[in-house]
Structure 1
């Protein structure tokens, strides 16, 4: 797709161009249409094949620590407190228990989480044409995280974008193109993203945050350009995860603040994993000379939830 650029020279889409792209991706995804969306592309045979990726037995978390202190990207951080024992009330003898309570905004701009298929509302509907009226104060009634209650297990593939440009991270506002994804894949001979894969895209968000400190990511962050979703559609991936939230900010799609979310979740039925961290995984992939691995994702079983905190584990 030919696209214009905005005043900063970034690729831009008009409303009409975006809707044309939406229609094309939606049509391409209909081959695996179902209430589980793209997760249906993960087959038992695919899971067994993914298990052969395990060679060293090393496990690596893809989740960032949960933020419990306010910051520019987490104005309402998770709250965690010890509820017992009270200070000074620990018995000198006998049994007692330490207990705690945890509360969080699942879809924050700092914490690793999974977006369910009921998370994105577009033109009054959810994925698969489900009316948005199915969302109530008591929770969603369909397309919830319960679709993944048995876990998401498959071959994970990490595409590391910053090294392509000789930088440790992409600056906020940078958009990853389909050409970037193809180049990151081609940088590792023998690697090819395929049907049913769990695709992870590193933009270096976490490294930048660790080294320079948090910033207002709602206003500026690196992410994917909407047309990059054509790479995912062509390869029939099952899921997309990013160390940002997949969408770049500010958006260059006129009138749509989160175009990648609309395309991935609503048009293609892709569950998204937002604000992961790959700073532990990338060095291991480099050391072992391979960028694919068995991956296990186990969201919480939260009835009616539109998302869940998550700690994906790569097993190499």
Structure 2
């Protein structure tokens, strides 16, 4: 029944509690639509609703396993967050259904119930390909109204994805920039990703899981909570062609990958639309990457084996998840 740790008083170590967006340049809807069409991978894979996870072969899994040297296992999920706040408008539920107070027979039993409206900012989760439609279409050009109804998703559901084991790459921007965190609203551009590769000694490659650390949860713990829908560090849309060219299989971070406010007029979550709907790349949102950052710094490398095992929910648009990195 734990939640994100309580907000401490402001430490003033690395910035104010007022977000200071720096998310330009602005992108017109016409420019964005042209980019969306250019990055589409529709019709490329079978089965289509696994999208870019089709890139991951047994060879990629073996190469990821070869990165395990110290045996350090780092979980990346937030605690189950039952406490309402500016970044948790729909708190998760956790209550007891059996307290072991009915006897005989032995042994007595304790049971609990959990539930969550997880597509928000308070739960670490995976977005499946049915989660985002753009211009009325899901990934692969499927009509969203025909594929998703009150019973769930008939295309692009999370159960079509299954587990993923592949190489993970941590783009640790605060380490690259010598800061404690990026201020909410700060955009990470293509040139920033290239600079991070050089600074961290990594090269993003085919089938990789790319994780962006902005220091979101370090900032939250030191300065307090804010509404990430209003301002959050993340990728600018101009980073997406680079990630598409590298052939990634998964994108995620300690935010929801999108810089907010959106730099695209009329599109609230442009990176979601480009990654999920155009490229077929599922997203991991709201990861706590602080322990992974420390573990990577300790061993002097920012690549590792990543294991993601979403719940097997037929028709689900995603899943709460606890991904792990193994170094």
What's the TM-score bracket when you normalise by the shorter of the two chains?
over 0.9
**Alignment partner of 2:295: what SS?**
helix
- Which stretches in structure 1 are left out of the alignment for 5+ residues? 1-6
**Alignment partner of 2:220: what SS?**
helix
Do the aligned residues in 2 keep the contact of 1:62 with 1:313 (CA within 8 Å)? Answer: yes
The aligned counterpart of 2:224 is 213
Q: Select 1:256's aligned residue among 267, 274, 282.
A: 267
The aligned counterpart of 1:49 is 63
Do the aligned residues in 1 keep the contact of 2:125 with 2:286 (CA within 8 Å)? Answer: yes
The aligned counterpart of 2:139 is 127
Q: Are 1:140 and 2:153 counterparts? A: yes
Q: Select 2:28's aligned residue among 4, 14, 32.
A: 14
Residues in 1 aligned to 2:79 and 2:298: alpha-carbon distance in whole angstroms? 24
Q: Are 1:200 and 2:211 counterparts? A: yes
RMSD over aligned Cα atoms: 1.8
**Alignment partner of 1:187: what SS?**
helix
**How many angstroms does 1:31 deviate by?**
5.0
The aligned counterpart of 2:115 is 103
Q: Are 1:69 and 2:83 counterparts? A: yes
Do the aligned residues in 1 keep the contact of 2:158 with 2:317 (CA within 8 Å)? Answer: yes
The aligned counterpart of 1:3 is none
Larger mean Cα displacement after TM superposition, 208-217 or 121-130: 208-217
The aligned counterpart of 2:304 is 293
Change (3 A) 1:92 1:9: closer
Residues in 1 aligned to 2:115 and 2:23: alpha-carbon distance in whole angstroms? 41
**How many angstroms does 1:98 deviate by?**
0.5
Change (3 A) 1:280 1:294: same
Number of positions where the alignment pairs a residue of Structure 1 with one of Structure 2: 305
**How many angstroms does 1:10 deviate by?**
2.0
Do the aligned residues in 2 keep the contact of 1:21 with 1:227 (CA within 8 Å)? Answer: no
**Alignment partner of 1:281: what SS?**
helix
Q: Are 1:175 and 2:187 counterparts? A: yes
**Alignment partner of 1:11: what SS?**
coil
Q: Select 1:153's aligned residue among 161, 165, 172.
A: 165
Q: Are 1:305 and 2:319 counterparts? A: no
Alignment map for 1:107-118 (pairs within 5 Å): 107-118=119-130
Do the aligned residues in 1 keep the contact of 2:169 with 2:209 (CA within 8 Å)? Answer: yes
Q: Select 2:233's aligned residue among 222, 236, 257.
A: 222
CA deviations over 1:27-75 (Å, ceiling 9, x no partner): 6x76557331111111111111111000011100011112101111112
**How many angstroms does 1:24 deviate by?**
1.6
Do the aligned residues in 1 keep the contact of 2:32 with 2:264 (CA within 8 Å)? Answer: yes
Q: Could you tell me the TM-score, scaled by structure 2's length?
A: 0.89
Change (3 A) 1:303 1:215: same
**Alignment partner of 2:112: what SS?**
strand
**How many angstroms does 1:9 deviate by?**
7.1
CA deviations over 1:95-146 (Å, ceiling 9, x no partner): 2100000110120112100000000011111100111121110101111001
**Alignment partner of 2:61: what SS?**
helix
